[in-house]
Structure formats: structure tokens, C-alpha cells
């Protein structure tokens, strides 16, 4: 299950890697992901630095619908636009990849991107982007997730984990104690 145009960072096939759970205050929203996905996101950021980069998150919700399980994150499609201050994800070959995952019960959950040498705090543009995704009938993702990698190889990378509130007005942070190596 691998598109030729870009790298799929990791899937749940890697069961040996530890999991990290991110929780919102009060525990309404949870996100679980394989640590190898986070490590590989860091590697991709290291590779693209000082440019920003990113991709999409693929996975499913638990039966109780209280936890998003991210099983894969993609690298950036070839038609993405990268600069040191912004990243516009392209779409090339993504639908084909999503169709393959759909057949196994996994689907689009949201986005991830790199704030090159920056913090993991979402920008106003990030909020607008998530609101657009939530409203888009084609995306079929009313509560999108957003992972932001901050920092750089010199100072270390860190990961911010967010979900759009059900009102769509703000991004809610989900915290864990994990700091990415
Ligand atoms: Zn951002």
C-alpha cells in the first residue's frame, strides 16, 4: 500500500513501536499514534529544513468514537508548495492512496505540517484551513485533526496535537508527556 509519488511514513503494521496517547483537557478528545510515525515525521522535517513540509493523517476512530487512531501519515505530494514560512499541501496521488486505505477501514483524519524552527502553536491560517476541511463535503471530515512538528535538529523537535472543536471555532490542544527525539 504505497503510492509511488510520495512516502507513506508508517502504518499500523509496525506493532513493535510504542504508542503515544494525546488527550484534551477533560479527556473529550483523544488521539493515539505509533511513535514510529512521529519519528519519521521528524526525519522528513530534518530533510526539508529550512522549508516547511507536511502531509495527511490516515486512520480511524475507536468504537466508542472517543479516540482517533492515526495509523499512517504521508509525506508531501509532489504538487505541494513549500517555503520557510508556509506549506500548501498538494493533492497528487492522494485520492488513489485514500481509496486503498478505505478498503481496509482507514480514512482521512486530518493534516500534519512542520513549523520550521518554530513552535507547535497553530497559526490563524492553520485554524482557517481546518475550518475549510471541516466544511468540505468532499473531505468528509467534520472534526479534523492537526499535528504540528516544531523545532529543528539543533534544538530538538516537538509535536503539537490539535483537533477542531465541534463548534468549529477553535483548535483544542491534546497533550502528552512525549517529547520527540
Ligand atoms: Zn501551521
Our CA angle for 17, 180, 11, nearest 5°, is: 35
Whether 13 is covered by a domain: the verdict is no
The verdict on residue 8 lying in a domain is no
| 3 within domain boundaries | no
Answer whether 0.85 is exceeded by the pTM. Answer: yes
Output DSSP code: residue 28.
Answer: S
By residue range, what is the domain housing residue 125? 19-175
83 pLDDT above the threshold of 50: yes
In a domain, 66, yes or no: yes
How many Å lie between the centroid of ligand 1 and the Cα of residue 147? 9
> What pLDDT is recorded for position 8?
61
Give domain status of residue 11, yes or no: no
Q: From ligand 1's centre to the CA of 103, what distance in Å?
A: 30
Query: What's the sign of the alpha-carbon dihedral 111, 112, 116, 119?
Result: positive
13 pLDDT above the threshold of 50: no
pLDDT at site 80: 96
Identify whether the C-beta of residue 111 lies closer than 8 Å to the C-beta of residue 149: no
Q: How many other CB atoms sit within 10 Å of the CB of residue 52?
A: 23
Lowest mean pLDDT among 11-20, 124-133, 139-148: 11-20
Catalytically annotated residues: 52
Would 6 be classed as within a structural domain? no
Domain holding 102: CATH number? 3.40.140.10
pLDDT at 6: 54
Cα(45) to ligand 1 centroid in Å equals 13
Whether residue 108 lies inside any domain: the answer is yes
Mean pLDDT (whole number) for 130-159: 95
Domain membership of residue 9 (yes or no) is no
pLDDT digits (tens, 9 = 90+) for 23-82: 999 888 999 998 999 998 999 999 999 999 999 999 999 988 889 999 999 999 999 999
- What total number of domains does the chain contain? 1
Amino acid at each position: 500500500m504505497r503510492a509511488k509519488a510520495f512516502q507513506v511514513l508508517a502504518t499500523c503494521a509496525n506493532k513493535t513501536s510504542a504508542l503515544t496517547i494525546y488527550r484534551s483537557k477533560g479527556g473529550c478528545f483523544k488521539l493515539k499514534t505509533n511513535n514510529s510515525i512521529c519519528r519519521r515525521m521528524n526525519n522528513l522535517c530534518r530533510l526539508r529544513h529550512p522549508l516547511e513540509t507536511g502531509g495527511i493523517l490516515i486512520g480511524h476512530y475507536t468504537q466508542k468514537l472517543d479516540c482517533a487512531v492515526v495509523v499512517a501519515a504521508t509525506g508531501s505530494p509532489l504538487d505541494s508548495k513549500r517555503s520557510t514560512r508556509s506549506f500548501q499541501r498538494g493533492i497528487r496521488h492522494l485520492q488513489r492512496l485514500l481509496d486503498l486505505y478505505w478498503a481496509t477501514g482507514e480514512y482521512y483524519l486530518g493534516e500534519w505540517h512542520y513549523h520550521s524552527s518554530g513552535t507547535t502553536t497553530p497559526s490563524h491560517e492553520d485554524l482557517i484551513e481546518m475550518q475549510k476541511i471541516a466544511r468540505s463535503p468532499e473531505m468528509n471530515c467534520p472534526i479534523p485533526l492537526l499535528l504540528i512538528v516544531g523545532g529543528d535538529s539543533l534544538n530538538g523537535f516537538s509535536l503539537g496535537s490539535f483537533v477542531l472543536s465541534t463548534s468549529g471555532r477553535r483548535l483544542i490542544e491534546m497533550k502528552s508527556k512525549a517529547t520527540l527525539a
